[in-house]
Amino acid sequence: MKLDVAMNSIKSLDELSMKLAKDKLDGLTKPLNSLGKLEKIIIRLAGILRTPEPEISKRAVVIMCADNGVVEEGVSSCPKEVTSTVTQNFLKGITGVNIFANYAKTDLVICDIGVDDELSNLTGILHKKIRYGTNNIAYGPAMTRDEAIRAIEIGIDIVEDLYKDGYRLICTGEMGIGNTTTSSAITSVLTSSNPSEVTGRGSGLSDIAHQNKAEIVKKAIDINRPYLDSIDILSKLGGFDIAGLTGCFIGSAAMGIPCVIDGFISGVAALLAISICPQAKDYVFTSHFSKEPGAVKLFEAIEMEPLLTLEMCLGEGSGAVLSLVIFDAALEAYNKMGTFEDAKIEKYTPQI
């Protein structure tokens, strides 16, 4: 699906379904609004899925895998080859997101959108490679504008296919050495923040390496001057993984299903999606608060609060999948709690 078609397909949330969900919640045997954010989750799911009885048992985490040319600048403590290794390890079921996804009954969709390795012989991977990694943003644009749009549309198409297969919730994940650098650069521009404020240690950089990383982020911004629009920012500073996830958020909104942010990198993709297509925001859910310092500016920019604070920074979609346990608990209460009539208690009424 083309980007413009997807954007034009997004509908407002269904107000009637949200009202009916709220009425049902208020009729359950509990004080009004006493389930807090759980009630907000249920009401918004009702509006997104356009039914007062939302159901999200068939869900998937889409993991966009890609390499980033900026690793040449020493911005990561891990060698570039780890991107390919972990991508293949997803197939073995041994990574963090594998464990959490199995626990949360969530399917994995692994997409090679730009890994700098030949993976086309492997089954179980969506082969959508644009090319073998991006260019080094310290010396020029990561990709062309056309490549950025193509990557966004790959994400849109993946969600569209999942929707046709019956999936009704998407989590977002990524794998790409160097992608906290690209994410920091995008966050710096989109939030008008100093690179040093939003650049973290990634996978454990030393003080000197961390300082170098922040300087590389600043250099990339100064050289590329990414100020035309959000796609310009993405194409000059981003990665294929971030671009693909941006498409997942827009595609989910177009299909009318919720999409869950994981951590910092997928949060950057959500911010890009919202800046490109503001109406997509209604379909975005948060999961956890990443340890990456840029997450603070990110959540301020999207004006949303994280659901969990667990000091996680694993990536892969692990936090997004883990948060579904909360979603499931909310729906379990919504569907199985008794009413005031069942409990023989007089219904609570607002006192103000």
Strand order of the β-sheet with 259-260 is 125-127, 107-114, 59-66, 169-175, 259-260, 284-285
**Is there a contact between 60 and 258 (Cβ–Cβ < 8 Å)?**
no
Element (H, E) at 260: strand 259-260
For residue 310, which phi and psi values (nearest 5 degrees)? Answer: -125, 5
d(CA 148, CA 234): 7
Output the CA–CA distances (angstroms, integers) from residue 195 to 68, 119, 176, 297, in the order listed. 18, 34, 20, 11
Tell me how crowded residue 96 is: count the other CB atoms within 10 A of its CB.
17
3-class state of residue 113 by DSSP: strand
d(CA 66, CA 117): 10
Q: Tokens 């699906």 label which residue?
A: 1
What's CA 279's distance to the chain center, in Å? 16
**Is there a contact between 321 and 61 (Cβ–Cβ < 8 Å)?**
yes
d(CA 28, CA 302): 32
Query: Please, which residues have CB within 8 angstroms of residue 114's CB and are 6 or more apart in sequence?
Result: 65, 66, 67, 129, 130, 131, 132, 133, 134, 151, 176, 239, 240, 241
**DSSP output for 48-92:** HHTSSS----SEEEEEEEE--GGGGGS--SS-TTHHHHHHHHHHH
Active site residue 316: yes
Which member of 73, 147, 174, 316 is catalytic?
A: 316
Residues belonging to the active site:
316
